[in-house]
């Protein structure tokens, strides 16, 4: 099973252009997109089993997103649904392919298509009236080409009307074409206002704006459909992917039935200080629960009895401590010698920010080249002193850091990491320091120094 690709929305116009130059008919792509949308809506409402004709409202912009909406509207009308179509821009502003399918729609159902000019009180009133009657709204206003500037004017009012209708009628289903209108497909920023969809039907692959917050809060269920563009056109851009549980399960090494504990992971944890025994304990127990065969904890001597009582399944290894009851730099050689026996290490949880402990962590990073997870105070030891150039000289290709947004801000010297820039900044961190960075959060982002 393959990982699921994610791209910036701004790549899509270029991908479409290359595919069309390669011989794929642009009108066929629009037809495939619109038909995919209509099939989703039909399937959803067949499952609802309404005992009357389904009523729908389709709102289209002037670009190809609107063209997808025109195709879907015609399909839904042909199926037997009662669909009213509004376009928010004059016909003269339509893209060529959008105009082609607009004419096909008008030819079949002339009286149900309207230019939504909000200054026309009759049309504005009709729009609000149909919103109240609708079982669903298809948002085909803006697509992946919307970036940067806030939505304003009539488009803003129309989006707000759709949102208001949903608040008044929770049974109203909102569908968005490619991305909810008002969300920047490159980063997930909400550009002033945005449609809050129940389902977003997107094409080819997910867009960053669909998975990055705050945009991810507006997408509802995401359905990716294939419109006929081969994978080769997508693969030349940023290498961002989304795993699923099946992919993860397929990539977990199988344990032979005759295995023993030293064959399934021998982990050395370097963690804990006075007041922070919980962080070290949770790290050890988490490792065991994930399948590590043996876990050994290096801890300050005075805390050994505490850990022996709390961690009956973990081997403890007490070493010299500072006056703050944290690990002392003088224990460096002892820990280095011990580390030779282990497959991997975890350093940092609850270590403290004692200067001696910081020196110890830095020396360990210089000398240990086994797989190593660095977290919490371990991150502070590396980046807190802000001597970036000396850190960049370290070979950290064996290191996985696990920052939250605040720690990532520290690493990059930023005041705060905006939600919508999480993927971008995490990639920058991984590349800058040549390591793997796991940015924790509601949407965990994993980046390596090779640009994936």
**Tens of pLDDT, residue by residue, the chain (452 residues):** 578 999 999 999 899 999 999 999 999 999 999 999 999 999 999 988 887 889 999 999 999 999 999 999 999 999 999 999 999 999 999 999 999 999 999 987 657 899 999 999 999 999 999 999 999 999 999 999 999 899 999 999 999 999 999 999 999 999 999 999 999 999 999 999 999 999 999 999 999 999 999 999 999 999 999 999 999 999 888 889 998 888 888 888 888 888 888 888 899 999 999 999 999 999 999 999 999 999 999 999 999 999 999 999 999 999 999 999 999 999 999 999 999 999 999 999 999 999 999 999 999 999 999 999 999 999 998 887 666 677 778 899 999 999 998 888 888 877 677 767 889 889 999 999 999 999 998 889 999 999 88
Q: What's the pLDDT score for residue 419?
A: 67
Give the whole-angstrom CA distance, residue 185 versus residue 195.
13
Q: Is the dihedral of CA 126, 57, 159, 88 positive or negative?
A: negative
Gyration radius (Cα) of the chain, Å: 28
Kindly list the domain boundaries of the chain, sorted by start residue.
Answer: 4-248, 256-402
CATH architecture designation of domain 4-248: 3-Layer(aba) Sandwich (3.40)
Per-residue pLDDT reduced to its tens digit, 47-70? 888 878 899 999 999 999 999 999
* Residue 304 falls in which region: left (phi positive, over 0), alpha (psi -120 to 50) or beta: alpha
Residue 9 is predicted with a pLDDT of 92
Q: Which helix (H) or strand (E) is 6 found in, with range?
A: strand 4-7
Residue 384 confidence (pLDDT): 76
> Can you give the pLDDT at residue 139?
98
CATH superfamily of domain region 256-402:
Ribokinase (3.40.1190.20)
C-alpha closest to that of 33 among 6, 2, 65: 65
Tokens coding 74: 């015609």
**Ramachandran area for residue 291 (φ above 0: left; ψ -120 to 50: alpha; else beta):** left
| H or E segment to which residue 270 belongs | strand 266-270
Residues 328-358 have pLDDT tens digits of 999 999 999 999 999 999 999 999 999 999 9
Would you say the C-alpha torsion 138, 12, 14, 419 has a positive or negative sign?
A: positive
d(CA 95, CA 143): 13
Q: How far apart are the first and last CA of the chain?
A: 18
User: Strand ranges (DSSP E) for 88-167?
Assistant: 113-115, 136-140
Domain 4-248 and domain 256-402, same fold? Reply is no
């Amino acid at each position: 099973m393959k990982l699921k690709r994610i791209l910036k929305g701004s790549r899509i116009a270029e991908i479409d252009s290359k595919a069309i130059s390669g011989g794929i008919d642009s009108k066929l792509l629009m037809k495939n997109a619109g038909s995919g949308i209509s099939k989703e809506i039909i399937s959803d409402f067949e499952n609802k089993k309404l005992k009357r004709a389904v009523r729908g409202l389709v709102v289209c912009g002037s670009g190809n997103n609107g063209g997808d909406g025109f195709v879907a509207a015609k399909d839904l009308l042909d199926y037997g649904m009662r669909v009213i179509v509004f376009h928010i821009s004059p016909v003269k502003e339509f893209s060529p392919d959008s105009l082609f399918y607009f004419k096909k729609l008008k030819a079949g159902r002339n009286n149900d298509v309207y230019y939504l000019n909000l200054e026309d009180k009759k049309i504005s009133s009709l729009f609000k009236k149909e919103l109240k009657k609708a079982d669903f709204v298809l948002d085909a206003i803006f697509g992946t080409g919307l970036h940067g500037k806030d939505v304003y004017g009539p488009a803003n009012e129309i989006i707000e009307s759709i949102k208001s209708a949903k608040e008044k009628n929770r049974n109203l289903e909102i569908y968005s074409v490619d991305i909810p209108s008002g969300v920047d497909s490159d980063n997930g920023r909400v550009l002033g206002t945005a449609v809050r969809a129940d389902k977003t039907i997107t094409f080819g692959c997910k867009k960053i704006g669909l998975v990055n917050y705050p945009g991810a809060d507006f997408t509802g269920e995401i359905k990716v459909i294939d419109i006929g563009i081969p994978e080769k056109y997508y693969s030349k851009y940023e290498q961002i992917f989304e795993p699923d549980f099946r992919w993860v399960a397929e990539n977990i090494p199988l344990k032979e039935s005759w295995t023993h504990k030293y064959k399934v992971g021998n982990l050395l944890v370097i963690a804990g200080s006075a007041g922070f025994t919980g962080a070290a304990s949770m790290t050890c127990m988490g490792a065991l629960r994930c399948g590590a065969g043996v876990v050994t904890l290096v801890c300050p001597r005075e805390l050994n009895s505490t850990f022996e009582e709390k961690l009956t399944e973990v081997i403890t290894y007490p070493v010299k401590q500072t006056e703050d009851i944290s690990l002392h730099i003088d224990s460096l050689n002892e820990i280095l010698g011990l580390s030779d026996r282990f497959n991997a290490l975890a350093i940092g949880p609850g270590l403290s920010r004692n200067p001696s402990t910081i020196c110890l962590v830095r020396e360990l990073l210089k000398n240990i080249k086994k797989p190593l997870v660095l977290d919490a105070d371990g991150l502070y030891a590396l980046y807190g002193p802000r001597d970036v150039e000396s850190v960049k000289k370290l070979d950290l290709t064996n290191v996985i850091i696990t920052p939250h947004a605040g720690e990532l801000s520290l690493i990059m010297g930023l005041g705060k990491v905006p939600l919508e820039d999480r993927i971008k900044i995490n990639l920058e961190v991984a590349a800058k320091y040549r390591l793997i960075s796991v940015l924790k959060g509601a949407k965990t982002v994993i980046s390596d120094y090779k640009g994936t």
